[in-house]
Amino acid sequence: MTDYTPTPADRFTFGLWTVGNVGRDPFGEPTRRPMSAPYITQKLAELGAYGVNLHDNDLVPLGAGAPERDRLVDDFRQALSDHGLVVPMATTNLFSDPAFKDGAFTSADARVRAYALQKTMLSMDLGHELGAELYVFWGGREGSEVDASGKLLDSLGWLRDSLNFLAEYSQSQGYGYRFALEPKPNEPRGDIFFPTAGSMLGFIPTLDQPELFGVNPEFAHDTMAGLNFTHAVAQLIDAGKLFHIDLNDQKPGRFDQDLRFGAENIKAAFFLVKLLEDSKYGGPKQFDAHALRTEDENGVWAFARGCMRTYLMFKEKARQFDQDGEIQAALSAYRVTDPALEALSRGFSPERAAALKAQSFDRAALGARGPGLEHLDQLTVELLLGVR
């Protein structure tokens, strides 16, 4: 039997805010006690995680003075060293403070935009101090409920200016960050700017240093809007812009649930893992999720362990998929090759265009052919259900 015990080589990470989630929701108070960053680090190391990520205020509360800040950072750094974990990614909380209620980098108030830059620079300092090499921007408040403000085009410019500024700050400090922009369609705003991976890919080339910027997609964000997350990830891989990824699960059409990875959408999670493994994605795999509000602390660690084990189970299923003779035969039958036509179709020339225009195709036969996708999909289901 395959061992699904995770190790640091699997590069699984969690945020302090994920396993540290206390179970609060808009209708209820916390159901769990807070846990310290050093304690979370110890427990994740015991489970086989690779790293732990953080927002600035996950570690240092707003309003903390310099002595408290230094003590918290030193204690966390010592825990990382003691337990062999790293901090691959850091980010800024630009969404909790009421100051950001109408946006941070896209606020119509220049004072808020300046404060957001200040807060982010300090957070980048913290991330670098802890060894982070990647910096994520999730614009949870960069959006609107109404568009009467007329600030849409201005907002794009303000966000662009802010990201350009912060990229230059990173370089001036010698931090060497790469930046990942995280899309989400809605919640907590009615509409969030840059809701999809594709919209981020369109925005990145407008930045001064687009090579420094990629995307951090999240499974739940696409799924809650009814989109196909695996398709978005494939587009990012193709563009060379998959800098980081957030794994979780979600029921379509619900609020942002951040469920345990693989808890709901079994086929989608399987094909996502297969895509990541086939493409040789080597970055951190962050589980940006949290235990159900019903759970106590034991349930939190069962949740974290389950996320990692499920990924490894899907990884094993992907290997079986590639080695299953009937599945591979169905795939071979699905893909019809024609070297001569493919040669004509790849790379334009007037001669190839003329040859293609002169080609005779049996349109009726093309339309009548069944590609066998029902059979292939059923084989996939049988594989996932363990009967193959």
Residue among 50, 177, 187, 195 at smallest CA distance from 123: 177
Provide the H-helix boundaries in the chain.
16-19, 37-47, 56-59, 66-83, 110-129, 152-173, 197-203, 219-224, 229-239, 266-278, 297-323, 325-334, 339-345, 350-358, 363-368, 373-384
Provide the H-helix boundaries in 20-151.
37-47, 56-59, 66-83, 110-129
- Measured CA to CA, the distance from residue 247 to residue 262 in angstroms comes to 9
- Measured CA to CA, the distance from residue 140 to residue 352 in angstroms comes to 49
Residues involved in catalysis: 55, 58
Residue among 387, 265, 379 at smallest CA distance from 330: 379
**Could you tell me the two tokens for 132?**
């982070």
What single string gives the DSSP state of each residue in 328-362?
Answer: HHHHHHHS---HHHHHHHSS--HHHHHHHHH----
